[in-house]
Amino acid sequence: MTRAFLQLAAMIAVFFGLWFGLSQIDWVGILRIESGKEATEEKLGDLLWDTFKQQDEELRSSEVTSRLDSLIQFVCKENNIDAKEIKLHVLQNDDVNAVTLPDHHLVVYSGLIKASDSEAELVGVICHEIAHMQKNHVMKKLVKEIGLSALIGMTSGGNTGRIIKLISSSAYDRELETEADLTAADYMLKADLDPEALANFLYKLSSDDVPSQVYWVSTHPESKERAKAIIEYIEGKDITKNQILSADSWKSLKAAASEN
Amino acid sequence: MSTPFPNEPGEHEAERASNSYLMSLVAHIVGLPLPIVNLVATLIFFLGNRNGTYFTRWHCTQALLSQASLLFVNSYGFWWTIGIIFRDNTVTNEYIAYMITVFLINVAEVIATMYAAIVTRKGKHVELWFYGDITNAICKP
Ligand SMILES: [Zn+2]
């Protein structure tokens, strides 16, 4: 019987040895298997963007899009983020809002551009959304709330209403928001921009005399506290208040966004 | 590894012993997608030969044991695959490595079973590595 035990041990060792040894090879890379998660994210992003596109007119004027592109590219370059991944869309809608969808779709509402009193305020919100993207907050939240299998089900033509609600109404957890705010502040510091502008923007929009269309703030609750947290975070740090666009270019951007 | 039994097995005994390996081989291949099939099939054959001669019983037991151990390994792979298809959809290096390991073990099992079927058909005794000892321990004349 001792021999049988030794043989059993040897068999188990061979089994796990073989398994472990073979695991060291990057089969997924070699076979170029696209992970199901990536495929799902891509499909979801397209599906959700389709839904957004149906609700509002897309603003295609290069006066707006190429300038927003410049802002995004500048921030991304300074922070080693691949700007080509980001799919920017501008919608003609007076809501002060910007939304990050799965698979790097960034939807900016023209109302946000109009409501920004300075370039840094607009860039601050964009940085916040890019932070959501880079930290994969959208998929994390959707997987947590809906579950990956249900998400995969929705990609084959399901009802996107629930996802839209999750993405655009109650927004993210407080924790993820704070992370996005502080990451946005880091992006801006690295790009020699003024993160205080993001705090100002939050503070300004959370005051009572702004119209109810301020969605970005209502979807991002506790704006005053968030503004304070940003101010505390950047306190004592070296801040350079550079501009990306020329003053004229910024004015044209605002004017083009207000045209409709 | 051949050890002579007390008396030479007759033609009929040899055929039944050999058939238990063939049966397990067929069940193994048929049951690959759903591993429980091969165990159930071999188990039925085993029960049918419960009252056979020592030689027949011995080889039925060995065939059953070698099937049973594969059951765990194959089932794990089966449910892992089901999980990937219906749940997280993520193929990992560990999964592919596991499936290759399982494939190699199954090939080895098929070869060993075929060898045992041929040798027992000739009326000769054969003890498989590890399984022979276990069979000796549980299968008494
Ligand atoms: Zn946010």
In this complex, which of A4, A19, A149 lies closest to B87 when CB atoms are compared?
A149
pLDDT tens digit string along B87-139?
Answer: 766 788 899 999 999 999 988 988 998 899 999 888 888 888 899 988 888 88
User: What pLDDT does residue A254 have?
Assistant: 93
User: What pLDDT does residue B1 have?
Assistant: 44
How many whole angstroms separate alpha carbon A61 and alpha carbon A109? Answer: 13
User: What pLDDT does residue A68 have?
Assistant: 96
Supply the ipTM of this predicted assembly.
Answer: 0.82
> For the residues A194-212, what does the mean pLDDT come to?
79
User: What pLDDT does residue A34 have?
Assistant: 62
3-state SS, one letter per residue, for chain A: CHHHHHHHHHHHHHHHHHHHHHHCCCHHHHCCCCCHHHHHHHHHHHHHHHHHHHHCCECCCHHHHHHHHHHHHHHHHHCCCCHHHCEEEEECCCCCCEEEECCCEEEEEHHHHHHCCCHHHHHHHHHHHHHHHHCCHHHHHHHHHCCHHHHHHHHCCCCCHHHHHHHHCCCCCHHHHHHHHHHHHHHHHHCCCCCHHHHHHHHHHHCCCCCCCCHHHHCCCCHHHHHHHHHHHHCCCCCCCCCCCCHHHHHHHHHHHHCC
Sole residue written with tokens 């000892």: B133
pLDDT tens digit string along A92-113?
Answer: 998 888 999 999 999 999 999 9
pLDDT band, very low/low/confident/very high, at A221 (cuts 50, 70, 90): low
Residues, chain B, total?
141
pLDDT band, very low/low/confident/very high, at A206 (cuts 50, 70, 90): confident
Query: By mean pLDDT, which of A112-121, A209-218, B56-65, B111-120 is the weakest?
Result: A209-218
> For the residues A221-239, what does the mean pLDDT come to?
86
How many whole angstroms separate alpha carbon A90 and alpha carbon A97? Answer: 11
Highest averaged pLDDT of the listed ranges A150-154, A184-188, A256-260, B65-69: A184-188
Instruction: Chain B: give the shortest CA distance to residue A129, in Å.
Output: 27
Partners of residue A151 in chain B, C-beta under 8 Å: none
User: What pLDDT does residue B139 have?
Assistant: 82
**Cα atoms in the 13 Å half-sphere on the side-chain side of A224:** 3
Neighbours of ion ligand 1 (CB under 5 A): A 180
How many whole angstroms separate alpha carbon A33 and alpha carbon B93? Answer: 10
Interface of B with A in 29-88 (CB under 8 A): 73, 84, 86-88
pLDDT band, very low/low/confident/very high, at A136 (cuts 50, 70, 90): confident
pLDDT band, very low/low/confident/very high, at A196 (cuts 50, 70, 90): very high
Of the candidates B55, B48, B57, the one whose C-alpha atom is nearest the C-alpha of residue B10 is B55
How many whole angstroms separate alpha carbon A146 and alpha carbon A169? Answer: 15
Q: Name the average pLDDT for chain A.
A: 86
Six-digit token string for A232: 């505390």
Chain B residue nearest residue A32, CA to CA: B91
**pLDDT at position A212 over 60:** no
**pLDDT at position B77 over 60:** yes
pLDDT band, very low/low/confident/very high, at A224 (cuts 50, 70, 90): confident
User: Which one is predicted more confidently, A38 or A139?
Assistant: A139
Tell whether A33 is within 8 A of chain B (Cβ). Answer: yes
In degrees and rounded to multiples of 5, residue A100 shows phi and psi of -100, 125
Chain B residue nearest residue A11, CA to CA: B130
pLDDT tens digit string along A29-67?
Answer: 777 666 666 778 888 899 889 888 998 999 999 999 999
User: What pLDDT does residue A22 have?
Assistant: 93
Contacts from A59-66 at CB under 8 Å and sequence distance 24+? A59/A90, A59/A91, A59/A92, A59/A110, A59/A257, A59/A260, A60/A90, A61/A256, A61/A259, A63/A252, A63/A253, A63/A255, A63/A256, A64/A90, A64/A110, A64/A113, A64/A253, A64/A256, A64/A257, A65/A90
pLDDT tens digit string along B44-53?
Answer: 877 877 788 8
pLDDT band, very low/low/confident/very high, at A215 (cuts 50, 70, 90): low
pLDDT tens digit string along B17-45?
Answer: 888 888 778 777 777 667 677 778 777 87
**pLDDT at position A232 over 90:** yes
User: What pLDDT does residue A231 have?
Assistant: 93
Helix (H, G, I), strand (E, B) or coil at B98: helix
Instruction: Chain A: give the shortest CA distance to residue B34, in Å.
Output: 21
How many whole angstroms separate alpha carbon A225 and alpha carbon A240? Answer: 24
Instruction: Chain A: give the shortest CA distance to residue B83, in Å.
Output: 11
Judge: B89–A11 Cβ closer than 8 Å, yes or no: no
Q: Ligand 1: distance of its center to the CA of A6 in Å?
A: 59
Query: By mean pLDDT, which of A230-239, B65-74, B128-137 is the weakest?
Result: B65-74
Burial group, residue A7, by CB count within 10 angstroms (0-12, 13-18, 19+)? middle
* CB A41 within 8 Å of CB A104: no
* CB A149 within 8 Å of CB B86: yes
Question: B81 Cβ partners below 8 Å, 6+ apart?
Answer: B99
Highest averaged pLDDT of the listed ranges A35-39, A145-149, A184-188, B70-74: A184-188
Which sequence spans correspond to the domains of chain A? 1-31, 32-259
Six-digit token string for A169: 């109404």
